[in-house]
Amino acid sequence: MTQSNRIGRAQVDFTKTLKFSFDGKSYAGHPGDTLASALLANGVRLMGRSFKYHRPRGPLSAGSEEPNALVELRSGARQEPNTRATTAELFDGLFAKSQNRLGSLKFDLLSINDRFANFLTAGFYYKTFMWPAAFWEKLYEPIIRKAAGLGSLSLKDDPDVYDKGFLHCDLLIIGAGPAGLSAALTAGRAGADVILADEDFRMGGRLNSETFAIGDASGADWAATAVAELASLPNVRLMKRTTVIGAFDHGIYGAVERVSDHMHTPDAGKPRQVLWRIYTKHTVLAAGAIERPIAFENNDRPGIMLASALRTYANRFAVAADRRVAIFTNNDDGHRTAADLHARGVKIAAVVDVRPNAPSSMDYEVLHGQVVDTKGRLGLTFAEVKLADGSMRTLDCGALGLSGGWNPNVHLTCHQRGRPTWNADLAAFVPGADLPAGMTVAGAAQGDLSTAGALSGGAKAARQALGLKGRMATLSEAEDAPVNITPFWYVEGCSRAWLDQQNDVTVKDVKLSHQEGFRSVEHLKRYTTLGMATDQGKTSNMGGLAIMAELAGKTIPEVGTTIFRPPYTPTAIGVFAGRHREQEFHPKRLTPSHKWAEEQGAVFVEVGNWLRAQWFPLPGETTWRASVDREVLATRKSVGVCDVTTLGKVDVQGTDAAAFLNKIYCNGFAKLAVGKTRYGLMLREDGIAMDDGTAARLAEDHFVVTTTTANALPVYRHMEFVRQCLCPDMDVQLISTTEAWAQYAVAGPNSRKLLEKIVDQDISNDAFPFMACTNITICGGLRARLFRISFSGELAYEIAVPTAYGDALMRKIIEVGAEFDVTPYGTEALGVMRIEKGHAAGNELNGTTTAQNLGMGRMISKLKDSIGKTLSQREGLNADGDLRQVGIKPVDPGDPVPAGAHLMNADGPIDAAHDQGYVTSACYSPNLGHAIALGFLKNGSERLGERMQLVSPLTKVHVDVEITSAHFIDPEGERLRA
Amino acid sequence: MHDLMPITALGGTEARIDAFDHVTITENDGLALASVAARIGHEKPCHATLKKLLGAVPGPGKAILHDPEAGFWMGPDQWMIGAPRATHELLADQLTTLFGETASVTEQSGAWVCFDVTGPAMQDLCERLCAVPIRRMVAGDAQRTMIHQLGCFVIRRQDADHIRILGPRASAGSLHHALITAAHSTA
Amino acid sequence: MIIDHPLLGPRDSAEFTYMGDARLIDRPDPDAGTAAQDFYEYGYLRDNPAGWHDELWFHEAGDRSWLVITRNTLTHEISKVQLARDVARSRGRSK
């Protein structure tokens, strides 16, 4: 098909031709076209089907407010539903399909819905499918799911990437129409850092759509010249294809730049879109205005458009929606469309104006009356006009332009809960007084609908924002017509007259909802879904409000608007994720021995962001248990090594360092000798255990504190809170050293013998007893730290070197440990050994347990104040029969004792009321040959040896167990001190 | 002398260099680092020693790019001092001696990975990474910020096209990936 | 939101961690006879006003300062930002 509807020249590059496909048919267009303009040029008006009734639809607009012309753009994994043909920039090879149809677009099988419209009115989903209940899941929902929704998803991973970015400026200007360009020229010439963002791919706004002159240039040429000047200024950043989607607190704006959407596929490595976070001191909102339609019977046929859109297609894209056009207007602006189209050779069937005093024309007929109905199955063919004298006229036309007045684009002025105010002269809402901080509104967005008003408003807004003094530069002469409008929202007596074309909400629906008692505008919205589609009611909300006001006998401002929320236009979820997806969802933290562990074939587990070796499978080991059991047994038999770098480490220095530790730990630290380490328990102020670890005193005024891996950050934050907010004069300085040191646990009866091979100093039991710590050197001179602490219950050490040497130290330990069969072990074996030893960990310090529960109540020093001490003494936390940590083993050694299961009395009922406690940590103990567990039991320390039932009704666990000491291995601690 | 060979933060034996047309990302493995925090009541002598060491005391958000030592402000009365590792492997010990009882010194060499980003598109790349106002920063500005969810220091060096990024060493791979990704984005 | 850090100037609130009512600075005297009641009130009876509120924020991705921020919880307007350490000292806290 040829481009039969091209009329003259415009801002489209006719020297190049772009091929594209719509619903399987090939067409041609040109650079500068949108998909909608190119389809119209090819005589295609029908572009989609409506949401509910599957009515045939064509474009209503020529911009981002489009409710109708939604297509599935691209194919395969890149297929994107609900793409507005009116903003989709044409590129060579563009592939698009219409959506929301069953069968072909012209013969949509679901258009039968239109015949059953009486069943699908407002709130139909609350009424129609109620009965019988069983039908809902089996019948109604599947059918509705199939029929509803607009486009379909590819259900494939998005192959494109998205970036995030951050920009700073003095002045952000939103919209590059006459007001925005004027503001940018003013601010840019004054040297301010300016960002000018516009959602279109061509800057200029309405100037590209109009025939007005500015000075001696056409509006479009003036805009091009202005853009060229701005591009030459180093302090101005021009961002076309960039939609500012939200105005957030304190001058932060979100903007989506469509970097690659105008290309077939993004360049390699390049993002499809970028989500910019813009920090600005001042903002000029110059977002323009959107024309609104008028509602009448069957006002939704393809070919019926906003009059301004017809003008845009003609003047910017050289496209006539049809060769015979009628206009229906309530204001002077509608007549401009007729004049412009006439000038391009389009036949004007008539201009129908509701006003008796409409301007007349020499070129075409102006009728005083209203369009009351239309005809045309898949596109407009006739418009029925009722003249003021009551007589009827039928207009032969393929396009009908509607001009119901202009709504300033107040959207972003309301993102901080601002409310627009009513302007009776414009019959529209304009920005209210409570704008987001730093924002000024200019041009049509402010209600200055003339070009001259926009140019001066933009310049003034920029001067005001930046505090510029001196005389304002003279602006070029431009169109300055006053607004002349008689409010007119819908034709009386109409019922199937569409307000929200995307969600298929009619005048009748609004009336019905009012009749059923939905009187608040927010209720109206939710009951009828008016304005809830992807276009958020940009062209429909006002009509709904007006009808509601009339029914309620109120004024439109009394009814008010619904709340405007970001994003301004539909935004791909991918751009909010940015690069944070799949493997890059969050950063990884690798331990110093990671490279070595990978070489050993370790299986890793994520702990927070850390990747820790979970176990090290050997050839022939087919289950994780085989590897873990071996690691545990080998460590207890000889020696094992484990990377424990992930434990949080905080360097605490200062003359008050010991006093500080006394404050944050419930047990005492003041008397800890230099060269010694002590276990410490930290409470929250409410007396609940927060974290535990060790503190090693390296000098009188220097401690190294460890935290659990998971709590490193919150504990550090808490320590800074105590230091800065509670004890501001304590001489204590904190810094995290978690990653500064590679730290390995070397555990087992041969650990000393192994370490003696690399440590340069004497570490015999006398020289370096249990809980000792010191700075040492290893391997002939590398600085290191040695701690004699044990999580496994064995004779054990932790040795630390600067991180860069961690890899070499691990290899050295394995090398010199070969004669002892040194065995690397992972977090699973670590966990087994700590359960065997009865050490509490995260499962026990779970945010609900006290020191008393953990059997450490006596650790809370009475001799000093500490965080949590006072509230830990509360009666309720110290009642008889409280939970106590115990060990649990199965009576039958073959039974499991799963974590999460609950303890019940041996002969008692099994229900929540008789719950006695629960299992927190469980494992198989290869040393004991059966499962073991730690848990909390009411009055547990008095119940050792008692038999109980362990149950988990949900997982069908029911096991007889015996309560034991939590210390399954070496309860006297002789191994530690060996 | 010991025989333990250090590896770089990215796990190599040599520092990694990624050169693009518009930007070059270099792993800087040659830094020794130590933090210095003034003890309460000793702020003045501590500042005096800092001044002697760096030529001036770095204020909030500032770095002093002195040779061979350099330093930047980390927090109230807390600074990070850096020096070439080849000559200052024991920087923390040296600073402890230098500051005596006026400051708490903590070795930080192992805690950080350092990347130098240079080239004409350095600013474009930076804008894809973090919220620092890179085009407004001047030589000697040092800001802590988030890059790919990681707390990093961004230091604007003497050359207008050069920033130095210090990030948590354990996440060197993730940070490097973010830098390379941003380099491709801005190519 | 933008928080005007007293040392570093305007910073994105995304760099901060929030901890609520700044009266957490006023930790009661543990040696007072009424300590049990005082700590109960300190721990559990804090205000959460719709309006102006002194709040604690931690500059976690920044200089690690605790700040006291006077913020209107209805409008997010911030009228004052102080170093919590200075506030604590001014309220008589020491060691």
pLDDT tens digits along A875-925? 999 988 899 999 999 999 999 999 999 999 999 999 999 999 999 999 999
Q: Which residues contact A779 (CB under 8 A, 6 or more apart)?
A: A758, A760, A812, B2, B3, B4
Residue of B97, B106, B108 to mutate when probing chain A, most A C-beta within 10 A: B106
- Considering chain A, what percentage of its residues have pLDDT values greater than 70? 96
Judged by CB atoms closer than 8 Å, whether chains meet at B40 and A730 is answered as yes
pLDDT tens column, A635-661: 999 999 999 999 999 999 999 999 999
Judged by CB atoms closer than 8 Å, whether chains meet at B7 and A595 is answered as yes
Contacts of C8 in chain B (CB under 8 A): 60-61, 143
Listed residue (A330, A249, A243) closest to A287, CA to CA: A243
CA–CA distances in Å: residue A499 to residues A207, A543, A888: 28, 6, 69
Calculate mean pLDDT across residues A425-446.
96
* A529 vs A62, higher pLDDT: A62
The number of domains in chain A is 5
Calculate mean pLDDT across residues A273-282.
98
- Under DSSP, the state recorded for A257 is E
Domain holding A547, by residue range, is: 498-552
Judged by CB atoms closer than 8 Å, whether chains meet at B39 and A733 is answered as yes
User: Nearest-CA distance from B75 to chain C in Å?
Assistant: 4
* A125 in the same domain as A14: yes
pLDDT tens column, A801-829: 999 999 999 999 999 999 999 999 999 99
User: Nearest-CA distance from B8 to chain A in Å?
Assistant: 6
Judged by CB atoms closer than 8 Å, whether chains meet at A165 and B128 is answered as yes
Residue of B3, B4, B123 to mutate when probing chain A, most A C-beta within 10 A: B4
Contacts of A271 in chain B (CB under 8 A): 185
* A131 vs B155, higher pLDDT: B155
* A297 in the same domain as A286: no
Q: What is the ipTM score, two decimals? A: 0.99
Contacts of C19 in chain A (CB under 8 A): 721
pLDDT of residue A142: 66
- Give domain status of residue A595, yes or no: no
- Give domain status of residue A267, yes or no: yes
Write down which residue in A156, A175, A191 finishes a domain. Answer: A156
pLDDT tens column, A181-232: 999 999 999 999 999 999 999 999 999 999 989 999 999 999 999 999 999 9
Contacts of A685 in chain C (CB under 8 A): 27, 39, 42-43
Alpha-carbon gap, residue A394 to A397, rounded angstroms:
9
- Give domain status of residue A238, yes or no: yes
Calculate mean pLDDT across residues A238-260.
97
Contacts of A279 in chain B (CB under 8 A): 131, 133
Q: What is the mean pLDDT of chain B?
A: 96
pLDDT of residue A133: 65
Tokens 């401009």 correspond to A336
- A702, β-bridge pairs: A653, A699
Write down which residue in A133, A156, A179 finishes a domain. Answer: A156
pLDDT tens column, A716-771: 999 999 999 999 999 999 999 999 999 999 999 999 999 999 999 999 999 999 99
pLDDT of residue A120: 67
Query: Nearest Cβ partner of A717 from C31, C40, C58?
Result: C58
What is the band of A141 on the pLDDT scale with cuts at 50, 70, 90? low
pLDDT of residue A481: 87
Q: Is A848 exposed, middle or buried (0-12, 13-18, 19+ CB in 10 A)?
A: exposed
User: Nearest-CA distance from B78 to chain C in Å?
Assistant: 9
Contact between residue A748 and residue A635 where contact means Cβ atoms under 8 Å apart: yes
pLDDT of residue A601: 97
Maximum distance among all Cα pairs of chain A, rounded to whole angstroms: 116
User: Nearest-CA distance from A309 to chain C in Å?
Assistant: 38
Listed residue (A799, A793, A708, A698) closest to A746, CA to CA: A799
What is the band of A519 on the pLDDT scale with cuts at 50, 70, 90? confident
Q: Which residues contact A701 (CB under 8 A, 6 or more apart)?
A: A653, A654, A655, A657, B104
User: Nearest-CA distance from C8 to chain A in Å?
Assistant: 16
Give the CATH number, domain containing residue A908.
2.40.30.110
pLDDT of residue A909: 95
pLDDT of residue A476: 85
The two tokens of residue A904 are 């019940």
* A942 in the same domain as A911: yes
Going through A794-914 in order, the beta strands assigned E by DSSP cover: 796-802, 823-824, 883-890, 902-905
Low pLDDT (below 70) residues in chain C: none
Q: Is A565 exposed, middle or buried (0-12, 13-18, 19+ CB in 10 A)?
A: exposed
* A153 vs A387, higher pLDDT: A387
Judged by CB atoms closer than 8 Å, whether chains meet at C2 and A659 is answered as no
Calculate mean pLDDT across residues A25-42.
97
Judged by CB atoms closer than 8 Å, whether chains meet at C95 and A720 is answered as no
A8's torsion region: left (phi>0), alpha (psi -120 to 50) or beta? left
User: Nearest-CA distance from A125 to chain B in Å?
Assistant: 44
pLDDT of residue A891: 97
What is the band of A692 on the pLDDT scale with cuts at 50, 70, 90? very high
Whether C12 and chain B come into contact, CB under 8 Å, resolves to yes
Torsion of CA A427, A430, A434, A438, to 10 degrees: -170
Give the CATH number, domain containing residue A399.
3.50.50.60
* A110 in the same domain as A97: yes
* A318 in the same domain as A223: no
CA nearest to C62 within chain B:
B144
pLDDT at A130 over 80: no
User: Nearest-CA distance from C91 to chain B in Å?
Assistant: 19
User: Could you give the angle at the alpha carbon of A213 between the alpha carbons of A210 and A217, nearest 5°?
Assistant: 115
pLDDT at A945 over 80: yes
Backbone φ and ψ of A16, nearest 5°: -120, 145
pLDDT at A95 over 80: yes
Calculate mean pLDDT across residues A618-622.
95
The gap between the terminal CA atoms of chain B, to the nearest Å, is 46
* A276 in the same domain as A183: yes
Amino acid at A283: T
pLDDT tens column, B97-152: 999 999 999 999 999 999 999 999 999 999 999 999 999 999 999 999 999 999 99
CA–CA distances in Å: residue B39 to residues A89, B102, C83: 63, 5, 18
CA nearest to A686 within chain C:
C43
Calculate mean pLDDT across residues B35-51.
97
**Domain locations along chain C:** 2-90
The gap between the terminal CA atoms of chain C, to the nearest Å, is 33
Query: Nearest Cβ partner of B149 from A586, A594, A806?
Result: A586
List, in sequence order, the alpha helices (H) in A467-571: 507-515, 521-528, 541-552, 556-559
Going through C30-73 in order, the beta strands assigned E by DSSP cover: 52-58, 66-72
pLDDT at A1 over 50: no
Q: Which residues contact A363 (CB under 8 A, 6 or more apart)?
A: A338, A339, A342, A348
Alpha-carbon gap, residue A695 to A704, rounded angstroms:
6
pLDDT tens column, A300-355: 999 999 999 999 999 999 999 999 999 999 999 999 999 999 999 999 999 999 99
* A345 in the same domain as A269: no
- The fold for domain C2-90 equals Folate-binding fold (3.30.2270)
Element (H, E) at A607: strand A603-607
* A387 in the same domain as A512: no
Query: Nearest Cβ partner of B151 from C7, C9, C61?
Result: C61
Calculate mean pLDDT across residues A42-50.
92
Against chain B, the chains showing at least 3 CB pairs within 8 Å are A, C
What is the band of A166 on the pLDDT scale with cuts at 50, 70, 90? very high
Listed residue (A741, A737, A728) closest to A778, CA to CA: A741
- Give domain status of residue A335, yes or no: yes
- Considering chain A, what percentage of its residues have pLDDT values greater than 90? 86
Against chain C, the chains showing at least 3 CB pairs within 8 Å are A, B
CB-side neighbour CA atoms (13 Å) of A63? 29
What is the band of A9 on the pLDDT scale with cuts at 50, 70, 90? confident
Judged by CB atoms closer than 8 Å, whether chains meet at C42 and A685 is answered as yes
Give the torsion sign (CA, A337, A339, A343, A349).
Answer: positive
Give the CATH number, domain containing residue A23.
3.10.20.440
